[in-house]
Amino acid sequence: MRAARPGGGLSGADAMLRAWLLLCAGLALPAGGEDDGGDGGACTYSFTVTGPGEAGCAEAGGALRAELAALAARLSLLESREAGAPPGPAQGPRGCGELRRAAARLEEDKRRLEREKEELRRRAESGARELARLREAGCGRRGDGPRRDGGPGRPRTVGYQELKSARMEVPAADLLEETARGHPGAGASGCGELVWVGEPVVFGQADSIAGKYGVWMKDPEPVLPFTRATTWRVDTVGTEVRQLFQYDDDEQFGKGYPAKVYILPRALESTGAVVYRGSLYFQQRHSRLLAKYNLREEAIAAEKEIPGAGYHGQYPYSWGGYTDIDLAVDESGLWVIYSTEKAKGAIVLSRLDPETLEIQRTWETNIRKQSVANAFIICGVLYTISSYAVPNATVNFSYDTATGTSQPLSIPFQNRYQYLSMVDYNPTERQLFAWDSFHMVAYPIRLAHA
């Protein structure tokens, strides 16, 4: 069953455009006669793209203009109701001008959506062609194999990764995807050093301010009834963040209609939540308490305080947003990235027991948490991102828990929408999931042998 979208779902550009047009159409229905001619001093509105400065109000264009006019008429009605005045002749020219400007903004939004839709379509077509070519060439191994939970494989997102991988001109012998057959201890996913991050691919887009930033994820080790395709999302704008959206697959996620909405028993803070082995792990609002919320039982299964961890703006990433406590999952399990007074703001990371949330071991790095935009962990190595805002950022440091040493890096990382509020590695999808200014994106990556 589909739930309504309380507080703002997301959609891809295509779905957004459709929703926008539906909104226009819906609003037009009860508009009555308010959108007709300008007699009696009432305004009518014209939103002509080619002549925005025109003073005339009564021009009727194509279907789009009619919809816009209907919308504006409805807005006019609403405005007059809000002001306690009857619609129609009582409106002054001031309301007319304001609405004309509002409509111009709507028109601009629509043009922007159309551009994004076109760009998305172009990229999808090009990707599909390339994927078909690769399949013909005999690629497509990953994602087709058996899964840990025994469910059906879902090659779709992995397919894109293959695609990006094939475009990389790196000697095949150095690359894990090519050597998964024989890396000792690597298993099917393989472990190695991060050497490349590809371009972000948009999977979803928020359509309200509630989704300017947030966290989205897939469970790398899902537990039935959930699968690798199940996608999770939390919009974290606001002080009382309790809604968790569940989507059954990428398509549903892209359209922005969740299969289910959970109301968490505790409010959540930060964009550091993860879903792992059937549970949502998150930091509780205004505290250093971590919670494990079992998604099938819909109940808190464990809670634990991270001793000394800064919270609520004490040691956030440079992005801010109370990102003091950031959970992460890698091939080896569950981690928490934070800082303490003792560490003087340097990044501390602890391995957690996913059952009890007990800290198993802690490392203190020399990377100042507030100097980096975000962090993630791959194969026991912490990586940080240089900036949440500049388009051409880098993965700028790594810290290896196996050796206790850090090193500077300079792996290009693209902030396409220049407001990166969350980044997480998914060891099963082998992608970085990120939230960049209303956009839910994923980055393909490459790992290589040390």
Q: Which residues in this chain contact Ca ion in the complex, by CB under 5 A?
A: 326, 374, 423-424
Report the residue number, 44 or 421, with the smaller CB distance to Ca ion: 421
Report the residue number, 207 or 424, with the smaller CB distance to Ca ion.
Answer: 424
Cβ atoms of 72 and 25 within 8 Å: the answer is no
What are the residues facing 299 on neighbouring strands?
294
Give the nearest distance from C-beta 325 to Ca ion in angstroms: 10
Cis omega (within 30 of 0) for bond into 87: no
CA distance 380 to 335: 9
Q: How far is the CB of 274 from Ca ion (least distance, A)?
A: 9
Quote the least distance from Cβ 173 to Ca ion, whole Å. Answer: 31
Residue (175 or 375) nearer to Ca ion, CB: 375
> Is the CB of 12 or the CB of 321 nearer to Ca ion?
321
Q: In sequence order, what are the beta bridge partners of 388?
A: none
Query: Nearest approach, Cβ of 221 to Ca ion (angstroms)?
Result: 18
Q: What is the three-state SS of the chain?
A: CCCCCCCCCECCHHHHHHHHHHHHHHHHHHHCCCCCCCHHHCCCCCCCCCCCCCCCCCCCCCHHHHHHHHHHHHHHHHHHHHCCCCCCCCCCHHHHHHHHHHHHHHHHHHHHHHHHHHHHHHHHHHHHHHHHHHHHCCCCCCCCCCCCCCCCCCHHHHHHHHHHHHHCCCCHHHEHHHHCCCCCCCCCCCCCEEEEECCCEEEEEECCHHHCCEEEEECCCCCCCCCCCCEEEEECCCCCEEEEEEECCHHHHHHCCCCEEEEEEEEEEEEEEEEECCEEEEEECCCCEEEEEECCCCEEEEEEECCCECCCCCCCCCCCCCCCCEEEEECCEEEEEECECCCCCEEEEEEECCCCCCEEEEEEEEEEHHHCCEEEEECCEEEEECCCCCCEEEEEEEEECCCCEEEEEEEEEECCCCCEEEEEEECCCCEEEEEECCEEEEEEEEEECC
Query: What's the length of the chain?
Result: 450
Considering beta carbons, is residue 42 or 411 the nearer one to Ca ion?
Answer: 411
CB of 253 or CB of 383, closer to Ca ion: 383
Q: What is the C-alpha to C-alpha distance for residues 108 and 241, in angstroms, rounded to an integer?
A: 31
Q: Looking at beta carbons, which residue is closest to Ca ion?
A: 326
Q: From CA 192, how far away is CA 291, in angstroms rounded?
A: 30
Shortest spacing between CB 216 and Ca ion, in angstroms: 12
Nearer of residues 34 and 424 to Ca ion, judged by Cβ? 424
Task: Quote the tokens at residue 308.
Answer: 């000394």
Least separation in angstroms between residue 281's CB and Ca ion is 12
- Could you tell me the smallest distance in angstroms from the CB atom of residue 24 to Ca ion? 38
- In angstroms, what is the minimal distance from the CB of 353 to Ca ion? 20
Query: How many angstroms separate the CA atoms of 305 and 307, rounded?
Result: 6
Q: Which is nearer to Ca ion, 143 or 211 (CB)?
A: 211
CB of 339 to Ca ion, least distance (A): 14
Q: How far is the CB of 434 from Ca ion (least distance, A)?
A: 9
Residue 129 Cβ, how far from Ca ion at the closest point, in Å? 34
Residue with smaller CB distance to Ca ion, 158 or 423: 423
Taking the C-alpha atoms of residue 120 and residue 83, their distance in angstroms, rounded to an integer, is 41
Measured from the CB atom, is 70 or 337 closer to Ca ion?
337
Nearest-approach distance from CB 378 to Ca ion, in angstroms:
12
Q: Measured from the CB atom, is 219 or 326 closer to Ca ion? A: 326
How many other CB atoms are there within 10 angstroms of residue 314's CB atom?
Answer: 18
Of 369 and 446, the one with the shorter C-beta distance to Ca ion is: 369
